[in-house]
Amino acid sequence: SEVCVIIGASHAAAQLSASLRTEGWEGEILVIGDEAYLPYHRPPLSKTFLSGEKTIEQIQIRPAAFYEKQNIQFKLNTRVEAIDREKKSLTLNTGETIQYSKLALCTGSRPRILPLEGSQLPGVHYLRAASDIEGIQSNIASGKKAVIVGGGYIGLETAAVLRTLGLEVTILEMMDRVLQRVTAPEISAFYHRIHTEEGVTIKTGTAIKAIEGNGKVESVILDDQSRLEADLVIIGAGIVPNVELAEKAGLEVDNGILVNELATTSDSDIVAAGDCTNFPNPLFNKRMRLESVPNAMEQSRSAAASICGKEKVYAAQPWFWSDQYDMKLQIAGLSEGYEQVVIRGDYEQGRSFVAWYLKAGKVLAADCVNRGKEFMTAKKLIQSGVTVDASKLADDAIDPKELLQ
Ligand code: FAD
């Protein structure tokens, strides 16, 4: 019978395998993943899983019984080493060979490794998989000194959790401000203030040069030669998409595995979805690579449809979220290319506000901190592409719903 093999066992794979059944795939489904667990939610890794509030079972995307019922098989702790597109076969690290009729690449991404002296020392951690968190957890205790390299969302979320657990936390950010790559200066200033208020030290414009220690981490050396004591170092310096498998198999790759709007690669029997892809978004008339759960899920629905011979175009507005302390940030749209930022609420003293990103009088994106209503409104404004009155966006006395009229 026909077999659809999915490589990678995370958000994209969980959705793709389920969608294959709803789209009518009657053949076998085999998911091969190199981690030890059934697909689990990755966002809690730097939030409630790191803090110990949730266990791995509690963050599973679907229970084992779901996959059994849908007849979705898993091979965990297993890596696919090579794809032979002519023979339609895969070589596994176990030496085994597996045949496929259709193939889905859901290989995701991995942390960017910093080539730092001392980064092999025990106590240096990256943050991508549940196993990384298990390593960090064995090394955290109140009063310990943590240095976090990278002031992106993951670094900031990790700082918030460790601080709440009573550690002394320092964030090192190479750029002039945290979140520089993804937000307006106002948002960076906001998070800088909040973390400072919570007792975290942030050093911007500061790069790490080396990690030192005798048998385990003891300190980090900064680019100005100064030294910071550290019991643990967590590196959050961005990610790189896992494209090597596809590349070796001769598939087209360019900052991600190239797919069309139906999530099909340059081989019509192979789809790809999630962090590992570079796809054309018809809403923006350009290609993009996104690193988010909603992206992995939506694109997987298109990929599953394509495998079943149907056409479901992936054209979605990106959205994202980040939880830090008592603040829920929800981001609608992509702010890239904005001309103006309009603020509603008090980002200088408060903990609830919206930053609207505008271009040519239209809303491109919005960062909403503890503002669920405005987030819903922002999604609609972005989707409809109407021209807005900036003074109304800024006016907290105006109900968000009215902004849609
Ligand atoms: P991944 O989740 O990267 O999974 C790919 C899997 O494939 C991995 O298990 C990998 O080991 C495996 N694999 C790769 N190659 C092979 C191979 N050859 N053989 C077998 N297995 C292989 N997104 C949000 O939207 N909101 C958030 O708040 C948020 N927070 C995050 C916090 C953290 C700490 C992290 C790490 C990510 C966060 N993200 C968040 C991003 C989100 O988790 C990713 O976008 C999402 O996991 C992408 O899913 P994916 O299935 O494409 O890939």
User: Residue 158: which H helix or E strand, with range?
Assistant: helix 153-164
Percentage with pLDDT > 90 across the chain: 99
For the stretch 368-382, pLDDT in tens is: 999 999 999 999 999
Query: Sign of the CA dihedral 94, 56, 194, 354?
Result: positive
26, 70 contact by CB (below 8 A) = no
Distance 12 CA to ligand 1 centre (A): 8
Q: So what's the ipTM on this one?
A: 0.99
For the stretch 12-61, pLDDT in tens is: 999 999 999 999 999 999 999 999 999 999 999 999 999 999 999 999 99
Distance 236 CA to ligand 1 centre (A): 14
Say how far apart CA 226 and CA 229 lie, in whole Å.
Answer: 10
Looking at residue 258, the DSSP 8-state letter turns out to be: E
Ligand 1 pocket check for 61: Cβ under 6 Å: no
Ligand 1 pocket check for 293: Cβ under 6 Å: yes
Say how far apart CA 144 and CA 306 lie, in whole Å.
Answer: 51
CA angle centred on 77, ends 73 and 81, rounded to 5°? 95
- Is this model's pTM higher than 0.95 or not? yes
332, 378 contact by CB (below 8 A) = yes
For the chain, give me the number of helices (H) and strands (E)?
9, 26
Identify the residue whose C-alpha is closest to ligand 1 atom 2. 10
For the stretch 222-263, pLDDT in tens is: 999 999 999 999 999 999 999 999 999 999 999 999 999 999
- Name beta bridge partners: 257: 253, 277
Alpha-carbon radius of gyration of the chain: 22
For the stretch 160-189, pLDDT in tens is: 999 999 999 999 999 999 999 999 999 999
Q: Coil, helix or strand for 375?
A: helix
